[in-house]
Structures are given as C-alpha cells and as structure tokens.
C-alpha cells in the first residue's frame, strides 16, 4: 500500500506529490532559503502547506507555523 495524501475527498498520487514538494524545495532555495534557516508558514492546513513543510525539511530548513487569530 502506497501512502497517499488526501484532501477534501481528492487523493494525490504519491509520485506526483513527491515531485511537487521537490519543486517547492527548489523554489525555497531560489528565494535564498538555506539549511538551518527558518521558514514561517501562514497557510491553511492542506496539501499545499504539507508540501512547503516537507520542502523546508528537504533542504534542511526549519519551519514554523504561524496562526492568524481572527476577531469576530
């Protein structure tokens, strides 16, 4: 059984997901993110946030989730 990312009833192929977060890792490097840098994430939970989290880890950077508290 291959692990699959699933969000809102839609599955994402593991190979495609792997390629996607490697592409995101390349984008982080292109933006100047290096090993031991911290990447702050202010994103909704979902496949995109998981991609960036894994991309940061792939290049040796740390990630920090940022929660936005909305007032009614």
Residue 56 within any structural domain of the chain = yes
pLDDT tens digit sequence for 15-68: 888 899 999 999 999 999 999 999 999 988 888 888 999 999 999 999 999 987
Residue 60 within any structural domain of the chain = yes
The pLDDT score that the predictor gives to residue 12 is 83
C-beta separation of 25 from 59 below 8 A: yes
Positive/negative CA dihedral, 8, 13, 16, 21: positive
Split into its structural domains, the chain has a count of: 1
39 C-beta neighbours (distance < 10 Å), count: 17
* 56/17 Cα distance (integer angstroms): 15
What residues make up the domain containing 64?
34-72
11 C-beta neighbours (distance < 10 Å), count: 10
pTM, two decimals, is 0.81
pLDDT tens digit sequence for 5-17: 777 777 888 888 8
């Amino acid at each position: 059984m291959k692990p699959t990312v699933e969000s809102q009833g839609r599955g994402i192929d593991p190979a495609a997901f792997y390629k996607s977060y490697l592409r995101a890792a390349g984008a982080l490097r292109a933006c100047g993110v290096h090993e031991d840098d911290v990447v702050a994430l202010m994103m909704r939970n979902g496949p995109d946030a998981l991609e960036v989290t894994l991309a940061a880890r792939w290049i040796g950077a740390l990630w920090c989730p940022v929660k936005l508290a909305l007032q009614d």
